[in-house]
Every structure is written in structure tokens, then in C-alpha cells.
């Protein structure tokens, strides 16, 4: 999972390099705006992956008819993904108009953003399906297949980027088309892998009745609210930093790369924990749930310590790799001590997010996220706002720690009451 995670930012580097060599910087800016609009929607819809992982892992761990339950989970989640993907395509005009009104790019940039979006949006059904299929395969502990799908999809995307832009001179539309083709290729690959594991299982109408829909909508609805609360905090940091000026905004962009770096490792551990805890929950094995959580916490802690040591000793060099502007380098250096603390404070929330995804305790994930946002992130920023941009990072670190603490406390309470294997 860690290797699979690494392929995505590498693809982003190829996309940027290809667009950065076009005739105008407006092309790169426009494609970035168009991609951002869709990426934000896809990120919020990440609840599809989380619910698919948790339910799939529990189905795998169930002693009775695990293959049938796994197939049911896949079909239910896939149906929801197709509905959401079709909705994005049908609502593409109001979506792009809303996004452009918020971004308010200049004329040339806006034109290229429209060109990119109107092509890339047709990949939405595949993008939604990929969330479900990847999540389901993780729950089935088929992580090598996930790695293969991610690597092939991203390599194909990168190769088509170069072919369409450099070979066929398709400009921004070529970059978007490359992504669409790669998304559908990944859907076909992951779909075939899932079909092989469910071969011979008959789809039943009862899987889609009102009772089944109600359970799935409740689970995904809670996770949607959770994602929106998280996105609110991250968007506030970005927008508030932009209001403080060009330099703080650029500093924040660099610091977010440190956050992205720790996510590569910590998300890999969290995904593994989702599958293992979910399997234990499906088997109604409370002791195994606790043991898998402790194992995950050990690995998560080790990753966090390594990250902190790397940031402590190589932080200035990492910043130099990200910018060659002396003023921006000097402006970023004071934040390095916070980046050293970042993995130590944040790894708890990554790990326990994975635990609660495996338990499909969506209400707990929703509540702790909202509490951490409203009772920690915004109050900490408000109390320290005289520190300027630094206050935003104080707030973010406090928010990440609060998420980990509240989820850990909830886990401890459920374990003490012997409720870890109960319904969400």
C-alpha cells in the first residue's frame, strides 16, 4: 500500500512537467484549476473507499458465507458509485460554473480550465468505481493487486500525457483524455480482479432493498460529513494563508508537501489496519481487534519517529528541493520545528481512522472529526491568530492530535464495554 501510494504523487510530477513545457503558463494554470475542482469532489467522495474497505474486510472475516457477503458489499457499493459518477457527469455545467466562480481565474486560464474539465469529467463514473474497487480489494487483503492496478494506471496516464501532448499536440485536452483513459483502464483491471473472486455468485434483488440501502446510506452519510469537516479545516488553512499574502500562501504550499510525505507511510499502515481490524470484526473477535490495533500502533509510531528524525536532520534540504527562491526558503525555515512534531502528533489519527474504518464505526468518525474541528482547530487558530500564518499550523497540529486522542478514547471506551464488535 505504501508503494501504491507513492505512484500517485509521481504521476502528479509527470503531469506538471508535461504541462509546464506547453506554450503558455496559462495552460498549466488552467489544467490545475480544472483538476482541482474534480479532485475536491473525488476526495469528498472518498467515503466510498472507506465504507467498501470496512464492509469488505468484515465480510472476509465472517465465518458464514463470506464470499456471498463480499459480493453483496461490492455490488451495493458499486451501485452507489455509478449513481454518484453519473450525477457528476449530468451536473458538470453547474459544477464547473460554481468552481470557476470560486477560483475566479483570468480569461486565458479560465478557457483552459473549461477545456480540461469538460474532457476529464467523463471519467467520473470510473473514478467513483475505482474508489469502491480499490477499497473492496484492500478489504480482501489483495494489496498486491491494488499496487499493480495503481502502477499500470499511473504509468499509462504518464505515457499518454506525453503521447497526446508532445506527439499529437492536443494541449490541455490531451492531458485530461490521458487521465480518463487511465481511469477506465484501472476500473477494468480492478473489476476483473474483483469478478474473479466473486465468480459464480448470483446477484440478488434483496441486496438493494430499502433496508440495505438505509444501512449503506447511513454509513456513507456519516463518512461524508466527516470528510466535509476535514476539508473545511484544510480549505480554511489554504484560503486564510492566501489572505495573508503571497509569501505565506507559498510557504503553506511547501509545508503541505511535508504533510503529503508522511501520508505516504502512515496511510499505508492505516490501510493495512483497516483490512486486518475489519476481518477481526467480521469474525467477532474482540481480542484480535485489540491485538491488530496494537500492532498497527507500533508500526505507525515507528514510521512517525523515522519521519521526525528525517525532518529534523534533512528539513532544510527538503525545502531547498522544493524551492530555489532564497526569500521563500528563509520564510519556510521557522516552521521546521513544527514539521518535526507533525508526524509524532498526527500518526494517531491516521492509525485510528484505519481502525474505525475497519470497525465501520462511521458515527464515531463523524463526531470526533466535527468535535476536533469546532472545539480545537478553530479555537486554537482564534486564540493564536496574532501569530499570523504560524497560527494556522498551530491549529492544524492541535486538530490532528485531537482527532487521534478522541478516536483513541472512543476505542478504549468501546473495548472496556465489550462493544467493539457491535453495530455502528
Tens digits of per-residue pLDDT, 123-168? 999 999 999 999 899 888 888 898 899 889 888 988 888 888 777 8
Banded pLDDT at 394 (limits 50, 70, 90):
very high
How far apart CA 138 and CA 69 sit, in angstroms, is 15
Question: How far is CA 25 from each of CA 16, 19, 96, rounded to the nearest angstrom?
Answer: 11, 8, 21
| Region at 323 (left for phi over 0; alpha for psi -120 to 50; beta for the rest) | beta
Q: Of 357, 355, 339, 349, which Cα lies nearest the Cα of 373?
A: 349
Quickly list H helices, 210-335: 210-243, 246-282, 286-322, 326-332
For residue 224 the three cell numbers come to: 461524508
Max mean pLDDT range (25-34, 69-78, 249-258): 69-78
Share of the chain above pLDDT 90, in %: 36
Mean pLDDT over 176-191 rounds to: 92
Domain range summary for the chain, segments of one domain joined by +: 1-208, 219-424
| Region at 200 (left for phi over 0; alpha for psi -120 to 50; beta for the rest) | left
At 194-204, the pLDDT tens digits run: 888 887 777 77
Count the residues in the chain. Answer: 424
* pTM tops 0.85: no
Banded pLDDT at 22 (limits 50, 70, 90):
low
Res 203: pLDDT: 73
Amino acid at each position: 500500500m505504501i508503494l501504491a501510494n507513492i505512484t500517485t504523487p509521481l504521476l502528479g510530477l509527470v503531469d506538471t512537467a508535461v504541462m509546464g513545457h506547453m506554450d503558455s503558463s496559462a495552460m498549466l494554470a488552467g489544467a490545475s484549476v480544472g483538476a482541482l475542482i474534480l479532485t475536491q469532489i473525488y476526495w469528498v467522495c472518498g467515503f466510498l473507499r472507506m465504507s467498501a474497505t470496512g464492509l469488505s474486510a468484515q465480510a472476509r472475516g465472517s465465518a458464514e458465507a463470506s464470499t456471498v457477503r463480499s459480493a453483496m458489499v461490492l455490488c451495493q457499493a458499486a451501485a452507489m458509485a455509478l449513481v454518484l459518477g453519473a450525477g457528476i457527469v449530468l451536473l458538470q455545467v453547474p459544477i464547473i460554473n460554481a468552481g470557476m466562480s470560486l477560483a475566479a481565474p483570468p480569461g486565458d486560464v479560465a478557457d483552459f480550465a473549461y477545456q480540461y474539465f469538460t474532457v476529464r469529467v467523463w471519467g467520473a463514473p470510473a473514478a467513483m468505481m475505482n474508489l469502491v474497487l480499490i477499497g473492496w480489494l484492500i478489504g480482501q487483503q489483495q494489496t498486491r493487486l491494488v499496487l499493480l492496478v495503481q502502477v499500470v494506471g499511473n504509468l499509462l496516464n504518464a505515457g499518454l500525457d506525453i503521447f497526446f501532448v508532445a506527439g499529437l499536440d492536443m494541449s490541455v485536452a490531451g492531458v485530461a483524455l490521458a487521465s480518463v483513459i487511465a481511469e477506465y483502464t484501472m476500473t477494468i483491471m480492478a473489476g476483473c480482479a474483483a469478478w474473479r473472486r466473486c465468480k459464480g455468485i448470483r446477484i440478488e434483488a434483496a441486496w438493494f432493498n430499502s433496508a440495505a440501502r438505509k444501512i449503506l446510506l447511513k454509513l456513507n452519510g456519516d463518512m461524508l460529513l466527516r470528510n466535509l469537516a476535514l476539508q473545511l479545516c484544510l480549505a480554511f488553512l489554504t484560503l486564510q494563508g492566501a489572505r495573508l499574502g503571497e509569501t505565506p500562501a507559498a510557504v503553506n504550499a511547501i509545508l503541505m508537501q511535508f504533510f503529503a510525505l508522511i501520508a505516504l507511510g502512515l496511510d499505508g499502515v492505516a490501510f493495512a489496519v483497516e483490512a486486518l481490524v475489519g476481518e477481526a470484526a467480521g469474525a467477532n473477535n474482540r481480542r484480535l481487534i485489540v491485538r491488530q490495533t496494537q500492532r498497527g500502533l507500533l508500526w505507525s509510531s515507528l514510521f512517525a519517529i523515522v519521519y521526525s528524525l528525517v525532518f529534523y536532520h534533512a528539513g532544510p534540504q527538503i525545502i531547498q528541493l522544493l524551492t530555489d527562491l532564497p526569500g521563500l526558503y528563509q520564510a519556510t525555515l521557522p516552521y521546521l520545528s513544527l514539521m518535526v512534531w507533525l508526524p509524532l502528533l498526527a500518526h494517531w489519527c491516521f492509525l485510528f481512522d484505519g481502525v474505525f474504518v475497519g470497525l465501520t464505526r462511521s458515527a464515531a468518525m463523524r463526531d470526533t472529526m466535527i468535535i476536533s474541528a469546532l472545539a480545537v482547530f478553530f479555537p486554537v487558530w482564534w486564540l493564536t491568530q496574532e501569530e499570523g500564518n504560524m497560527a494556522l499550523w498551530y491549529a492544524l497540529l492541535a486538530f490532528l492530535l485531537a482527532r487521534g486522542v478522541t478516536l483513541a478514547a472512543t476505542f478504549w471506551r468501546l473495548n472496556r464495554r465489550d462493544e467493539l464488535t457491535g453495530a455502528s
